[in-house]
Amino acid sequence: MKLWGGRFIDKESKLMEDFNSSLSFDKRLYYEDIIGSIAHVKMLSKCSILTNDESITIVNGLNSILSDIQEGKLIIEGDYEDIHSFMEIQLTKLVGDVGKKLHTARSRNDQVAVDMRLYSKRKAGEVIDNLDDILNTIIKLGNDNAFIMPGYTHMQRAQVVTFKQHIMAYYNMLSRDKKRLLSASEIMDENPLGCCALAGTTYDTDRGFTTTELGFKKPVDNFMDGVSDRDYLLELLSGFSIIMMHLSRLSEEFILWSTKEFDFIEISDQFSTGSSIMPQKRNPDAAELIRGKTGRVYGDLMGLLTTMKGIPLAYNKDMQEDKEPFFDAVDTVLSCIKVMNEMLRSLKVKKDNMRAAVKRGFLNATEAADYLVKNGMAFRDAHAVIGTIVIHCEKKHTAIEDLTLVELKGFSELFNEDVYEFIDYENTLSRGIKKEM
Ligand code: ARG
């Protein structure tokens, strides 16, 4: 069932019909399609292009289709080209010939553009709400676990940090992600309805009216751009990709930290899985899946960037390919944030193991050098002296703070009794962290 056909003599090939149809995936735009149509019809009546009665009949028809879909009485399926064709044909079945007036002064090009803007704006809001939830979880997890742990560079123990400091780094990453989505939502907040196919319409329409009805900030400035702009999807996909990159880095740390080699955390049973052969296994599948799904969201972004790169103005059917990657990415990012949030809420941090690891990594070597500098040595010389002490300690399987003062003085006369307090892990930590807050 089609909205066009008048100028064709032969029937469309079944192969082409199936190839062309987007209903199986664009059916998820049904809500936005209906509210977009309602705003359009109200505008047509306000501008005396439709009569008040016609507009009431159409609006009531559209509202009844909406409730039938929501109540499961009307299933979106069949051999329709897309959600827009499905709606118009359903409407005409329901209200009769007046339904055929719905598409006056409109094209599917501006219709699909407005549907996608409304849908993606709503979904961006949902992602932002979920980011708010995980941000709150991170603050609580950090405050409950402000214990010392080794901080790493090059995956080698470097200096003392706290678990709170470490996890709050992710708070900062995800806060920037939220700002990115807010900014994309702000930039996309323009109404393309009224651009029609590409050149507007000869009817005296009111784009300001539909803009207010649909809650956009302003109408788009240029019709050809309005129907063919998909930048907002790319911006959101890029924002989603960066969120996934952040969640993937955190997942990677959790996977490492939950190994017996690290043993810094325990991921709860709720978010772990077992092995079908090895009875002892507890696998961090949730974290691995988040890490894995990151590639898929990057793929969605790359796919749409590539689709868009060669398209001349204005609308071309290539653009129908914007939907599946966007839908896939938004579903994926939402489920990953939710799973990560719950995994964080049920995470056990192993305070004692982290503290023991701090003791084993010369994490106060930098501060020991700073101590010698404080007592008059140049930093480069102090660096060399402490390096020699580290070799000595490695041979003796001991730590800098466990050497006696006599032993230390053997390396430099500048060591005194107060060195032990200076290189104490908690003290070095609090002196360093003070500048961060
Ligand atoms: N299903 C189409 C899409 O998603 C709707 C617009 C079709 N417009 C057209 N002139 N064929 O892009």
How many Å apart are CA 259 and CA 284, to the nearest integer? 9
Answer yes or no: do 333 and 190 share one domain: yes
Of 109, 230, 308, 313, which is best to mutate to test ligand 1, by the most ligand atoms within 8 angstroms of its C-beta? 109
Neighbours of 57 (CB within 10 A): 20
Task: Answer with the one of 323, 355, 387 that is the final residue of a domain.
Answer: 355
Answer yes or no: do 176 and 32 share one domain: no
Q: What is the pLDDT of residues 54-84, one digit of tens each?
A: 999 999 999 999 999 999 999 999 999 999 9
Q: What is the number of structural domains in the chain?
A: 3
Of 26, 320, 326, which is best to mutate to test ligand 1, by the most ligand atoms within 8 angstroms of its C-beta? 320
Output the domain CATH number for residue 406. 1.10.40.30
Q: What is the pLDDT of residues 163-184, one digit of tens each?
A: 999 999 999 999 999 999 999 9
Q: Which residues are catalytic?
A: 154, 275
> With contact defined as beta carbons under 8 Å apart, do 57 and 98 qualify?
yes
What range defines the domain where residue 149 resides?
A: 108-202+217-355
Output the domain CATH number for residue 35. 1.10.275.10
The sign of the torsion formed by the CA atoms of 23, 29, 30, 36 equals negative
Answer yes or no: do 294 and 401 share one domain: no
Answer yes or no: do 121 and 138 share one domain: yes
Q: What is the pLDDT of residues 306-355, one digit of tens each?
A: 999 999 999 999 999 999 999 999 999 999 999 999 999 999 999 999 99
Number of H helices, E strands in the chain: 18, 6
Answer yes or no: do 128 and 90 share one domain: no
103 Cα–ligand 1 center, Å = 14
Q: What is the pLDDT of residues 257-286, one digit of tens each?
A: 999 999 999 999 999 999 898 889 899 999
Atom of ligand 1 nearest to the CA of 116: 4
Confidence band (pLDDT; 50, 70, 90) for 1? Answer: confident
Residues with CB under 6 Å of ligand 1 are 22, 26, 82, 108-109, 112, 315, 317, 319-320
Of 87, 112, 224, which is best to mutate to test ligand 1, by the most ligand atoms within 8 angstroms of its C-beta? 112
Answer yes or no: do 112 and 229 share one domain: yes
Answer yes or no: do 335 and 383 share one domain: no
Helix (H, G, I), strand (E, B) or coil at 295: helix
Q: What is the mean pLDDT of the chain?
A: 96
Nearest to 218 by CA among 241, 194, 237: 194
97 Cα–ligand 1 center, Å = 23
Is residue 212 domain-resident?
no
pLDDT at 371 over 80: yes
51 Cα–ligand 1 center, Å = 28
Task: Answer with the one of 355, 389, 406 that is the final residue of a domain.
Answer: 355
Answer yes or no: do 137 and 197 share one domain: yes
Pairing of strands 148-153, 156-162: antiparallel
Is residue 207 domain-resident?
no
Q: What residues contact 102, with CB distance under 8 A and at least 6 apart?
A: 37, 40, 41, 58, 88, 91
How many Å apart are CA 260 and CA 156, to the nearest integer? 17
Is residue 332 domain-resident?
yes
Is residue 4 domain-resident?
no
Which range is least confidently modeled, 89-98, 113-122, 187-196, 269-278? 269-278
316 Cα–ligand 1 center, Å = 8
pTM of the complete model: 0.96
17 Cα–ligand 1 center, Å = 13
Answer yes or no: do 290 and 408 share one domain: no
Is residue 8 domain-resident?
no
pLDDT at position 434 is 64
In the predicted model, what is the mean pLDDT of residues 401-427? Answer: 97
Which range is least confidently modeled, 215-219, 256-260, 357-361, 391-395? 357-361
In the predicted model, what is the mean pLDDT of residues 412-432? Answer: 93
Nearest CA to ligand 1 atom 12: 320
pLDDT at position 437 is 56
Answer yes or no: do 276 and 416 share one domain: no
Rg (CA), the chain: 31
